[in-house]
Amino acid sequence: MSVFRCQLQCGGLPRYEGVSAAASNSGTVSAPTSELSRSPWHCLFPWPAMLPVRYTVLSQRQLPRSCTYSHSPLAGTSSESRGTYFSAPMETLFPGGVPLEYDKAQQYFKRLGDKGSWAAYIAGALLVLAHERSASFPQGVSLLVASAVPEGAGVSSSASVEVAAMAAVAAAHSLSLEPYDLAVLCQKVENCVVGAPCGVMDQMAAALGQAGCLMALTCQPAQVHPAVQIPKHMAFWGIDSGQRHSVGGADYGTVRAAAFMGLHMVTHRRLTSDNAGQPGQEEVAQQAGYLAEVSPSEFASRFASDLPHTMSGSDFHSTLSHHLDSVTSVHPQGEYPVLAATRHPIEENFRVSTFRALLQGNTGDPVTQMTLLGELMFQSHESYSSYHWRRLWRYSVCSG
């Protein structure tokens, strides 16, 4: 029987024969950023030189044909809530030699609960490579993941482990992946196998980030610009706030859905004004661009007054139907913060563009420069917090 095996551990790595290794940094710290896919903006995302922690993944073909993954907890941390080892027959992931469909893979890993659902971030690499690159795994696969990231304190750690895992699996099976393509495929792992509606920003940072620089990324859907050098008189620090954050959580998915609802309304309003008629749903879908293409002044003068502060899913479906996003749903019972979720990426794009210009400009006055940069970061934090962490969402799932 073929098996997939995964193992996590801390400390030094053992020596193996026939092993491919890959590493990616974790613990990123961001300047003003965001990542709502089709409602994105310029993103400055720093490579975590100030947080030198990383995931290292070793991948090895094995017989019998199996797939395994496991880990040992870091010293001083607790992993009682999750399993430390995962193993599954390859037939489970590739029934009849065919990779599980994404929706079935999601269901499979979610049924495993806390003790096994995390393996989706690792095993998802095999499924995505099979679906998107026609990769095959005639033998079993064994993965060892080593990490210096304290449990529960990682930032962008899911993207980091996805990038390291897929890079190691690809190397072990002689698959050539460019870093850009690696990041895009790893986003698909998180969207389609894990079921988290994240953007591509974190994966791009893990795959393409440069030490001592901020990554400049236009998420439309993912255009990488030359890195922005951090001035020598400046340093970024990451502090563990102790607050949990998950892009797979209800709040994140609700805010993303609300932003797409806003995108639909803005596009509908723009087409109505430009054409003096009511556009159809297909025209709206074809003409919808990105919220980041709207300037803050245009949003304030043309669109903001037409957007509701909150809107129920049932009201949205009764008037506008589909919300243009493939990885979230608008639930009839949900209450969505449309105005705040739409305004945030529009204003955030302006803040990030200004942040980059200030970093690259020679002001001759570092105190003023850092004061302005700090104010932009405070604005970004307040804007994000105003709708994301105050739990505006009041959605309950009706059983049955």
- Residues assigned a catalytic role: 202
Q: Which of 18, 5, 20, 3 is nearest to 139 (CA)?
A: 3
- Contact criterion met (CB below 8 Å) for 185 and 124: no
Q: Which of 353, 352, 338, 340 is nearest to 380 (CA)?
A: 352
Q: What angle do CA 287, 288, 291 make, to 5 degrees?
A: 145
- Give the start-end residues of each E strand in 174-222: 213-218
CA distance 391 to 16: 48
Q: Is 139 exposed, middle or buried (0-12, 13-18, 19+ CB in 10 A)?
A: middle
CA distance 390 to 80: 30
Q: What are phi and psi of 226, to 5 degrees?
A: -55, 140
Q: Are strands 65-70 and 53-62 parallel, antiparallel or unpaired?
A: unpaired
CA distance 387 to 332: 20
Q: What is the dihedral of CA 138, 139, 140, 144, to 10 degrees?
A: -110
Q: Which of 348, 371, 381, 372 is nearest to 218 (CA)?
A: 348
Q: Are strands 140-147 and 3-9 parallel, antiparallel or unpaired?
A: parallel
Residue with tokens 């290794």: 21
- Contact criterion met (CB below 8 Å) for 156 and 28: yes
Q: Which of 73, 127, 118, 122 is nearest to 100 (CA)?
A: 127
Q: How far is residue 285 from each of residues 13, 143, 263, 270, 374, measured CA to CA in Å? A: 50, 42, 10, 13, 38
- Give the start-end residues of each E strand in 222-263: 223-229
